[in-house]
Structure 1
Amino acid sequence: MINLSLGLASTIRHDGHGGVADDLVEPAGLTAWVRDRAPHLGDWAAGFAADEEALASVVALRTGVRALFAYAVRPGPPSPADAHRLLPLPAALDRVNSAAARVLVTPRLTWVDGDDPVGRPVPAGADPRTALLAALARATIDFLSGPDRPNLRACTAPRCVRYFVKGHGRQEFCKPSCSNRARAARHYQRQQAAVATVPAGVATEPGGRASRPVDRDR
């Protein structure tokens, strides 16, 4: 099942050009994000239309979620996107718990012929904005109190700002492109270190290796 909490945190991401992109800078972005996840949120989400108030509420909740993720990955480093402005732990907890408490839910079982039965909490009489906040907050509580939390990491590839769940013990980065970028960065650093250790007057080859001494009297 899709991880709504991780998905919310990942709306802040690397933009592919060395900067940080935010998928929730305007109501249209939130509308698209919610509708794409309607099968995991409920029937109400298919027709969801965000306004400025809904956007501000979800972004505020995301700030709390990303702060909790930063505390969860310790002693590892947090995402650099907002490591310098994290909410204190009590404030982040209050933001998530308050959102989760806004809506009473009842369990509902659905079963499409040929598929497995699925249980989903259904909000009782809440407006879509409140239902969305409560669903995202409950997903965060379920995730951080569940078995996947110990595998939560902040990707340490250059310029990446994502959190991800390790799929296996040796996974270091959120996706292959980040792994390739980190490998290229390490190679560049080794080259620079090799060049820095070459004595003055000794030329270097493209790979950083010393070549024959340069005779400056010629």
Structure 2
Amino acid sequence: MERWLALELASTIRHDGEGGVADDLATVRGTAQWIRERGDLPACGVPAGELAVDENLRLGIVELRQAVRTLFARAVSPAPPSPADAHRLMTADRAMAHLNTVAAREPVALQLDWPAEGAPATRLLSAEHDPYVRLLAALARAAVDFLSGPQRARLRSCAAPRCVRYFVKSHGRQEWCKPSCGNRARAARHYRRQRTESEAGSAPS
């Protein structure tokens, strides 16, 4: 399955498995763990496992996530957005301005990398030395790439009960982010149908 860093950032707000919503970036420790688990994050000058995460970096990533989730909500419109934070999103204009500003903080040049025994590829040459700036800019660029690419048209908000995830639709009939959500949605639908039929049968004639 293809990975999208912007989608992974948005998914740091998720269902906690017990009826509530969990935030993987709620603490500095949680944020550091999320970064560590993505050792293949675009180069920010320091290996992910050695990056000293502090509250300022955490807040910067959280604000960027809010911008991304705001623009995800715009992308799935007129369908409803994730209910996790629909009531506290930025305006779309503010989210786009923030995303572009963060992406522009790292001056980069596109470089060609073509090894003798391999295929040509591109890499970014950075003029920025601050690893915090480089990390945030890399996350912002990933979101710009995602939202400007073909996958944006396939972005959906999972409609299963209690789920708050966004996902990229992989086939024409996909309604939920994963099979367990589909099972839960079908069970809820069956329960509602049974209840409606029961109430209709017990109504006075």
TM-score normalised by structure 2 residue count: 0.90
Cα 1:105–1:183 change in 2 (3 A) is same
> Secondary structure of 1:40's match?
coil
After superposition, residues 57-206 of structure 1 pair within 5 angstroms as 57-108=60-111, 118-200=121-203
Q: Deviations over 1:128-172 (max 9, x none)?
A: 111111111111111111111100000010010000100111111
Structure number with greater CO (CA < 8 Å, separation at least 6) is: 2
Consecutive unaligned residues of structure 2, counting only runs of 5 or more, are none
% identical equivalent positions: 54
C-alpha contact (below 8 Å) 1:37/1:45 kept by paired residues? no
Q: What SS class does the counterpart of residue 106 from structure 2 fall into? A: coil
Paired residue secondary structure (2:7)? helix
- How far has the Cα of 1:113 moved from its partner? 9.6
**For each residue in 1:167-209, what CA deviation from the matched residue of structure 2 results, as whole angstroms up to 9, or x when unmatched?**
111111001111111011001101110111013589xxxxxxx
CA distance in 1, matches of 2:125, 2:199: 62
Listed one character per residue, the Cα deviations across residues 24-52 of structure 1 (whole Å, up to 9, x for unaligned) are 01112111212222323126242222100
> Are the structure 2 counterparts of residues 82 and 38 from structure 1 closer, same or farther at C-alpha, using a change threshold of 3 Å?
same
Q: 2:16: which partner in 1?
A: 15
Cα deviations across residues 93-140 of structure 1 (Å, max 9, x unaligned)? 111011001001133556789986653324322311111111111111
- Greater shift, 4-13 or 39-48, is seen at 39-48
CA 1:40–1:53: 2 relative to 1, 3 Å: closer
Contiguous gaps of at least 5 residues in structure 1: 203-218
Change (3 A) 1:113 1:190: farther
Q: Distance in 1 between matches of 2:180 and 2:125?
A: 38
CA distances 1:64-116 after superposition (whole Å, capped 9, x unpaired): 11000000101111000011112111111111011001001133556789986
Question: TM-score, length-normalised on structure 1?
Answer: 0.85
Instruction: Provide the C-alpha distance between the structure 1 equivalents of 2:185 and 2:116, rounded to a whole number of angstroms.
Output: 46
Compare CA radii of gyration and give the structure with the larger one: 1
Aligned match of 1:44: 46
Equivalent residue pairs, number: 202
CA contact (8 A) 1:155 1:161 kept: yes
Which one is further off, 174-183 or 110-119? 110-119
Distance verdict in 2 for CA 1:55–1:75, change over 3 Å:
same
SS at match of 2:110: strand
Partner of 1:207: none
Query: What CA distance in whole angstroms lies between the structure 2 residues aligned with 1:195 and 1:113?
Result: 72
RMSD: 2.2
